[in-house]
Structure formats: C-alpha cells, structure tokens
Amino acid sequence: MKFFIDTANLDQIREAQALGVLDGVTTNPSLMAKEGITGKNNILKHYVDICNIVDGDVSAEVIATDFEGMVKEGEELAELHEQIVVKIPLTKDGIKACKYFSDNGIKTNVTLVFSAGQALLAAKAGATYVSPFIGRLDDISTDGLNLIDEIRMIYDNYAFDTQILAASVRHTMHIVNCAKIGADVMTGPLSSILGLLKHPLTDSGLEQFLADYKKGN
Ligand code: G3P
C-alpha cells in the first residue's frame, strides 16, 4: 500500500519524506488555507515546492466547478510539474473532466467520493485515483471502511486500473484496516503515520535490552 501524506505543511512533508516511507502528497483548498497559502500564484508555487520535496504523485485540486473551467485549470496545474495529479470533485462536470484528462494522458484524483456508485463512475471515466473519505463517513455514523471494501470488490470484479486512495484517514487503525481490505493508497496526517510506530512492548523491550547491555559493559 502506498502512503501519501494529507497536508500542505512543508515541514511535515519533509519529516514524512525523511522517514523513507512516503509515496506522495494530497492537498485540498482547506489544507492550503490552513497553512496560510492564498492567492493563485502562491498556491501554484506551493505545489511546485511540494513536488521538489517528494518523489511521488502530488494531488492539486481544481477550484472551477464547470467542465471548461476544470479543463483549463487542470491543464495549467499539470503543466507545473510532472508529479502533479489533477484533483477533481465527483460531480457531473468533474466526471466529464476526468474522462477528458484520462483521454489526454493527465493523471487524475477524483475526490469527495462517498458511495460505491460514485467510485464506479470515476473508474469508468478513467480516474487514476479515487478518493473515498472514510473519516467523514464515520463522522455521520456510517462505516467508512465498508465503502473501501465495496469499491475493492467492484474494481476487482472488472479489473479497473483506478487506484483506491483511502482519504480522510484519521488514525492508525484506519490505515491498518485499509491495508487489510486492500486499498491501493492511504492518505492521512503525519500523526496517523507516526502512530504506526507506537507499541508499549517495543518501548519496554528496548528499555530492558539497553539496561541488560549496560549490566555487562
Ligand atoms: O484527503 C481528504 C481529507 O483532506 C479530508 O480529511 O479529516 O478533513 O475529513 P478530513
């Protein structure tokens, strides 16, 4: 499973990259705003800065909501850097834009996906990635992981190439359960990735090993 970090914070991206397990980055307009990155030119520059830190795919989201606007904006984003993946919302125009980009060799990430039917449409339109938001489904007392399971089954039934990018991951068990189901990618905050390191028996075991070494040396 690929690990993407879901942030626009350059320090956190650098920290995840330094760990050696990072495969890419996802961002969205809210994450950009959280870092105080505003204005078109600053946002475009920030995408390039992110691409220069990591080796893998970097999702950059369109703001336009109409087909022509999405195509124009997406082409501009794709021109920025070879690692850019154009992120498009799951709407009627978004699906049309996804098909356009797919036909023109531009990678896409179809976002704001909350149902298996939406994920099926995204795959039919040739999406590179589909982003089901599992945490936000959990937030409304729906089983986010069940959606990953459903999409996995549907994509496997028809050998769709679209990669399932489990998004809105909030914690380590989301990551572990996505891996068990077979999500292709997960994107989460740095805390969810670092959380995988933690186990009290690792800490106490290491403490004991070091104490025993000191006794003999
Ligand atoms: O990748 C999607 C993500 O940014 C949404 O996460 O935690 O705001 O639901 P969250």
Parse the chain into domains and list their residue ranges: 2-216
Closest CA to 80 of 33, 27, 11, 125: 27
CA–CA distance, 57 with 80 (Å, rounded to integer):
13
User: For 39-87, how does the pLDDT look when each residue is reduced to its tens digit (9 = 90+)?
Assistant: 999 999 999 999 999 999 999 999 999 999 999 999 999 999 999 999 9
Q: Is the pTM of this model over 0.85?
A: yes
- Looking at residue 66, its pLDDT comes to 98
Q: Which of 26, 129, 133, 193 maximizes ligand 1 atoms within 8 Å of its Cβ, making it the mutation to test the pocket?
A: 133
**pLDDT at residue 81, rounded to an integer:** 98
10 CB-near residues (< 8 Å, 6+ apart): 49, 50, 53
**Res 141: pLDDT:** 97
Instruction: Return the DSSP state at 196.
Output: G
Tell me, using a 6 A CB cutoff, whether residue 4 lines ligand 1.
no
* Nearest in space to 172 (alpha carbons), one of 132, 206, 146, 199: 199
**Separation of alpha carbons 160 and 215, rounded Å:** 58
Ligand 1 centroid – CA 61 distance (Å):
13
Low-confidence ranges of the chain (pLDDT < 70): none
State whether the beta carbon of 187 lies less than 6 angstroms from ligand 1: yes
pLDDT the model gives residue 113: 98
Could you read off the pLDDT of 180-194 as tens digits, one per residue? Answer: 999 999 999 999 999
Q: What is the CATH number of domain 2-216?
A: 3.20.20.70
Residue 132, SS3 per DSSP: strand
Q: Taking the CA of residue 56 as centre, how many other CA atoms within 13 Å lie in the half-sphere pointing to its CB?
A: 17
Pick from 1, 57, 58: which is nearest to 31 by CA? 58
- Say whether 198 is catalytic: no
